[in-house]
Homo-oligomer: A and B are copies of this chain.
Amino acid sequence: MNEIFNAQRSVLIAGVTIDGSTVDIAIDETGMIAGIGEDARKAIDADIVIDGSDRLAVPGMVNTHTHAAMTLLRGYGDDMLLQDWLSQKIWPLEAHLTGDDVYWGTKLACLEMIRSGTVAFNDMYFFMDRAAQAVDETGMRATFAYGFIDLGMEEKREAEIKATEALVAHVKSLGNPRIQAAVGPHSVYTVSPEGLAWCGEYAKEQEIGIHVHLSETEKEVVDCVAQFGKRPAVLLDECGCLTPRTVAAHCCWLDEAECRLLGERGVSASHNPASNMKLAVNRAMPYHWLKASGANVCLGTDGCASNNNLDMLEEMKFAALLQKFAWNSPTLLPAGEALAMATSAGARALGTGPGTLTVGAPADIVLLDARAVCNTPLFHADSNTVYACNGGAVMTVLCGGRVLMHEREVPGAEEIVREAAATARSLVGRTETTS
Whether A75 and B384, one on each chain, are in contact in the complex, defined by CB atoms closer than 8 angstroms, is yes
* Total interface residues in chain A, CB < 8 Å: 69
- Chain B residues contacting A46 (CB-CB under 8 Å) are none
Number of copies: 2
Nearest Cβ on chain B to A278's Cβ, whole angstroms: 5
Task: Evaluate whether A328 and B282 lie within 8 angstroms (CB atoms) in the complex, with A75-B380, A277-B322 already known.
Answer: yes
A383 within 8 A of B: yes
Across-interface contacts of A278 in B (CB, < 8 A) = 320-321, 324-325, 330, 387
Q: Specify the chain B residue showing the minimal Cβ separation from A387.
A: B308
Distance from A16 Cβ to chain B, minimum over Cβ atoms (Å): 18
A366 at the interface (CB under 8 A from B): no
Which chain B positions have C-beta within 8 A of A163?
none
Residue contact B314 to A373, C-beta cutoff 8 Å: no
* Across-interface contacts of A392 in B (CB, < 8 A): 390-392
Query: Does A96 sit at the interface, judged by CB under 8 A?
Result: no
Complex contacts, A314 vs chain B, CB 8 Å: 314, 317, 390
Q: A377-B420, A388-B308, A417-B371 are in contact. Are A335 and B428 (CB under 8 A)?
A: no
Q: How far is the CB of A219 from chain B (nearest CB, A)?
A: 13
Contact of A75 with B387 at beta-carbon distance under 8 Å, contacts A277-B321, A373-B108 already known: yes
Q: CB distance B373 to A331 under 8 Å?
A: no
A352 in the interface (beta carbon within 8 A): no
11 further contact pairs, Cβ within 8 A, besides A78-B387, A309-B374? A75-B377, A76-B380, A79-B333, A85-B330, A307-B387, A307-B388, A314-B314, A371-B414, A373-B417, A376-B420, A392-B392
Residues of chain A at the chain B interface (Cβ within 8 Å)? 72, 74-76, 78-82, 85, 108, 111-112, 115, 274, 276-282, 284, 304, 307-309, 311, 314, 317-318, 320-322, 324-326, 328-335, 371, 373-374, 376-380, 383-384, 387-392, 413-414, 417, 420-421, 424-425, 428
Q: Which 9 A-B pairs have the closest CB atoms?
A: A392-B392, A377-B424, A79-B334, A75-B383, A277-B321, A277-B325, A308-B387, A280-B330, A308-B388
